[in-house]
């Protein structure tokens, strides 16, 4: 299972909105995990911010290419709700 896609899916189910971009430019902003993943694919490597209640709740650096499924989350918040979701994805899909 692709960890990054699953992170996006679970975050969308939890009500997060995504900002997906690179180099300070946003390519997708919205709540749809599929569209967020399409933006990651377009960018190949993207910064994803997870937003709830008008505030960024966490971030992840995601790659769509050249990595094993369990390595597609290249980096993410070190604490908070997004970290907990990413950690659960990792633990459930070693």
The pLDDT, as a whole number, for residue 67 is 75
Query: Average pLDDT of 85-89?
Result: 91
Average pLDDT, the chain: 92
What is the band of 54 on the pLDDT scale with cuts at 50, 70, 90? Answer: very high
Domain ranges of the chain: 3-92
Residue with the bigger pLDDT between 44 and 67: it is 44
| Buried b or exposed e, range 14-48, using 16+ CB within 10 angstroms | eebbbbbbbeeeebbeeeebebbbebbeebeebbb
The whole-model pTM stands at 0.91
The pLDDT, as a whole number, for residue 25 is 94
């Amino acid at each position: 299972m692709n960890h990054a896609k699953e992170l996006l899916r679970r975050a969308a189910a939890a009500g997060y909105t995504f900002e997906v971009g690179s180099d300070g430019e946003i390519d997708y902003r919205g709540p749809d995990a599929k569209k967020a993943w399409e933006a990651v694919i377009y960018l190949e490597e993207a910064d994803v911010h997870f937003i709830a209640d008008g505030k960024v709740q966490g971030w992840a650096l995601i790659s769509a290419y050249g990595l094993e499924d369990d390595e597609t989350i290249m980096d993410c918040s070190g604490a908070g709700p997004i970290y907990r979701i990413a950690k659960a994805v990792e633990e459930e899909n070693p």
